[in-house]
Structure 1
Amino acid sequence: MEDFLTVLGGGPVGCYTAIQALKLGVHVKVFEEHRSPGGPEHCTGHVSVNGLNRIGLSIPDSIIQQRVSGYRFYSPSGQSLTFKFKQPQTLIIDRRRFDKWLAETVIKMGGEYLPHTRVTKIEYASHRKWKISYRDEKGLRREELSPITIDAEGFPPNLLHRSGILNQSRLGFIYGFQAWLKNVENGGEGVVEVYLTRRFSPGFYGWIAPLSDGSGKSGLGSIFPNVKSMFNEFKTHHPTASDKLRKAEISRFQSHLIPLTGPIKKTCYRGLTVVGDAASQVKQTTGGGLITGLNAARLAGEAAAQALIKGDPNATSHYESRFQKLYGADFKFMGFLRRILNMFSDDALNRAFKAISSSSMEFKLNDDIDLDHQMKLIFEALKNPSRVRKAFSLIAILASTWIRGV
């Protein structure tokens, strides 16, 4: 039997890895533990249009739930700063439909998508192959050998931990909670709202993503595990969010872990490659990992296919160096920004918002901005002399509020 690429995890990152390898003529098997693609749905599905274009994904309109026209940031006391686009630059997508669409693409291209198949263990065997132990859809124990394996299991990476490849206890994360809501106000405006507050979401932020049909997604992240009760407090007692959510009804909810320490340093192990959330390839500033994960999938799929064609498992290491070149500096920068944000108390944030609002600074977003490379975004913005002056004014405001008491 011919060698094949094994992908552990049938979410968007796993499926897109498979798609890239299939394009190069490699046979692929995707193992997915759930009965159907798209579950459990962990993220808001907030992606940039430019990011999708760079990856080469043209999403069907049926998957798009909202075209985002801007962002509104709220201080703990309810002051706001609004940033608007001339044209929508980000989308809210239906993750269940998106995942299903990618899984169906894998099947149409000739790949094997194996739902309800739970991988229990991976270990390096002899003759340069990985032994995959799993239970099939009937619950029967089975094993297969694969020279090239992609771990796209998501977070936390339990398979890596059980196999002794990665010490899971060293991975930093926060607790996330998201609710799907009916009757959310301002859905037609298309503005995603971000709530910065230590009281309701210590170590992260809260959000409301209204959808065009009047429903919405709202949630928060926290360094503490009781996120469901914290969200109920946010929904009913936040000075601004409570007004917008007072009529909202929760149709379903999901809690999950969000890795926030930046990508793991080593992602290639003798033919085993780690991608997406399993590799903590999640932006520390926003907790978003879909575009970065899909980019990693593109690189990993290409490297895995070439390794199979050449018969050299070590060729997958090209993925690691290419990802580092693409995102390495950005993740360091985003980690720095996250540490700075976490230093501000609610009082300091309120003073900063008030000072910025009274400074008459204008914030206009170009339609070609790169939201996925935040360091590049800031440096591009600073090429304009007037923006440099505004940036220094903003830094001075933030520094003064922090010095006066974090």
Structure 2
Amino acid sequence: AAAAGLRVLLVDKKQELGAPIQCSGAVSAHALSAVGIPEDEEFICQPVYGFIIHDAEGNGTVLDYRELKPEEYLHRPLGFVVDRRRFDRYLARMAEQTGAELWLKTEAQGYAPRSEGIAEVFLRRLGKEHRVSARVVVGADGVQSQVGRWAGLNTHVRVGELASCLQYIMDGVETRGLLELITGKRWAPGGYAWVFPRGNGLAEVGLGVVPTLADHDARYYLEQFLHHSWMKERFRNAHILEVQGGGVPLTAPLKRPCARNLILVGDAAHQVNPITGGGIHLALQSGRLAGEFLGAFLGNGGLPTADNLAEYARRWFEQCGRTIQTLYREKRRIFRKDGRTSDEALYRTLADYFHPHSPYKKV
């Protein structure tokens, strides 16, 4: 939006961008290139070349794109594990270089639509109250978006569709440049466990569980996975260097992520892959789409009514919303089954989804 000539103010209540980390940080090379982000060593921890999908007993499907699609991936990575702190700072710097202004340690407390297409936004920055005028507020405030609730949008996520995720940054874990996903309700009911290479001898080891399908919290299952799974020997000499966690919505996207003078993007609009839990690609995509739409719409003097801003939602739905809804129906089908059948269904679905010739459209 700033690149289109609009005045843009970025607001973050935290004093440090990207912290605390609540994401494993896996993103495809395509996701970066699609929104014009260069592959920069400043935020890349480790290139990755494919996946290993494991079932609960340790049987695996190896999807190494260097072997399955050598014409495209023999000499270039499929994607990357990124450092979210450095990645978020990199994106903020890109925005500032196009003219956006960034306020850290600033809490957005509400907004009030006024006349002539203007809204008043109430902020508290470094202990001081501020009021700024804006034509559109873009809510990118994550799960259970408060910004959306200001406008009466139902951003609530039911506990049965909210994954509780926890991961450790560990050293001493052998990895091979592939993202490993481990299925099975014994290790991660309602979700899966993962081992992602992070470079420099480090790995991200974590899992996501759905509380309504679990008897214990995420920490219990992660400790069980580390010390009692068929993978335990790989963690015998590992040490925990950092603990990270957060919630991931595994629901359908909001049908109407917009209101008068306001739109939602990313997790705030439930724009997350409901099977994999992946959200970086969709957040980048929706953010770029919102910026381009608002740059043209407001630049031409458009009035930001709820109906006019719904054009953003329509474009997003055409680009990836249909696919997300299909994956959501598939997720519900998987977890309606009994334990063993749902384990097998999730294993097969993930193996199919991440295959280079997948029947599923990637998002």
Query: Which interval holds the TM-score relative to the shorter structure?
Result: 0.7 to 0.9
Over 3 Å counting, the alpha-carbon distance change for 1:115 and 1:350 in structure 2 is: closer
Q: Deviations over 1:278-318 (max 9, x none)?
A: 00100011101111111111111112222322332144332
The amino acid that maps onto 1:206 is A
One-letter code of the match for 1:209?
A: F
From 128, 142, 145, the counterpart of 1:140? 128
What fraction of aligned residue pairs are identical, expressed as a percent?
A: 26
Structure 1 residue 167: Cα displacement:
5.1
The one of 254, 263, 272 equivalent to 1:264 is 254
* Distance across 1 between alignment mates of 2:354 and 2:116: 58
Q: What corresponds to 1:251 in structure 2? A: 241
Kindly provide the amino acid, as one letter, of the partner of residue 232 in structure 1: E
Give the whole-Å Cα distance in 2 for the aligned partners of 1:49 and 1:295: 13
- CA contact 2:144–2:157 (8 Å) conserved in 1: no
- Is the alpha carbon distance of 1:113 and 1:294 closer, same or farther for their aligned partners in structure 2, counting shifts above 3 Å? same
Q: CA distance change for structure 1 residues 136 and 362 in 2, over 3 Å: closer, same or farther?
A: closer
- CA displacement at 1:112 relative to structure 2: 0.7
Higher helix share: 1
Following the alignment from structure 1 to structure 2, what is the Cα–Cα distance between the partners of residues 335 and 214?
A: 36
Q: 1:239-388, aligned counterparts within 5 Å?
A: 239-240=230-231, 242-311=232-301, 312-314=303-305, 315-343=308-336, 345=338, 347-348=340-341, 366=356, 375-376=360-361
Alignment counterpart, residue 230 of structure 1, candidates 201, 214, 221 = 221
Instruction: Give me the whole-angstrom Cα distance separating, in 1, the residues matched to 2:118 and 2:242.
Output: 42
Q: How large is the Cα RMSD of the aligned pairs?
A: 2.7
- Change in Cα spacing, 1:346 to 1:286, as seen in structure 2 (3 Å) is same
| Cα distance change on mapping 1:167 and 1:339 into 2, 3 Å | closer
Query: 1:166: how far off?
Result: 2.3
Report how far residue 219 of structure 1 moved: 0.9
Please give the alpha-carbon distance, in whole angstroms, between the structure 1 residues aligned to 2:355 and 2:209: 29
Map Cα deviations across residues 2-29 of structure 1 (whole Å, 9 max, x no partner). Answer: xxxxxxxxxxxxxxxxxxx011111110
Q: Does 1:29 align with 2:9?
A: yes
Task: Give the alignment's TM-score, normalised by structure 1.
Answer: 0.78
Q: Which deviates more from structure 2 when the two are superposed, residues 247-256 or residues 159-168?
A: 159-168
Corresponding residue for 2:96? 107
Identify the residue that residue 65 of structure 1 maps to in structure 2.
45
Give the greater-gyration-radius structure (CA). 1
Aligned pair count?
344
Query: Is contact 2:53-2:347 (8 Å) kept?
Result: no
After superposition, give the CA deviation of every residue in 1:252-285 in whole Å (9 maximum; x if it has no partner): 1122110011211101212211000100100011
Other-structure match for 1:40: 20
Offset, 1:125: 3.4
Q: Secondary structure at the match of 1:297?
A: helix
> Residue 28 of structure 2 contacts residue 79 of structure 2 at CA under 8 Å; is this kept in 1?
yes
| Whole-Å separation in 2 of the counterparts to 1:38 and 1:200 | 28
State the shift of 1:133 in Å. 1.4
Structure 1 residues 238 and 162 mapped into 2: Cα distance closer, same or farther (>3 Å)? farther
Distance 1:116 1:365, change over 3 A: same
CA deviation after TM superposition for structure 1 residue 175, in Å: 1.0
Give distance in 1, aligned partners of 2:152 and 2:345. Answer: 46
Give ranges in structure 2 of 5+ residues lacking alignment: 67-72
TM-score (norm 2): 0.87
Distance verdict in 2 for CA 1:36–1:166, change over 3 Å: same
What is the Cα deviation at residue 344 of structure 1? 5.0
Question: 2:182 corresponds to which residue?
Answer: 195
| Equivalent residue number for residue 69 of structure 2 | none
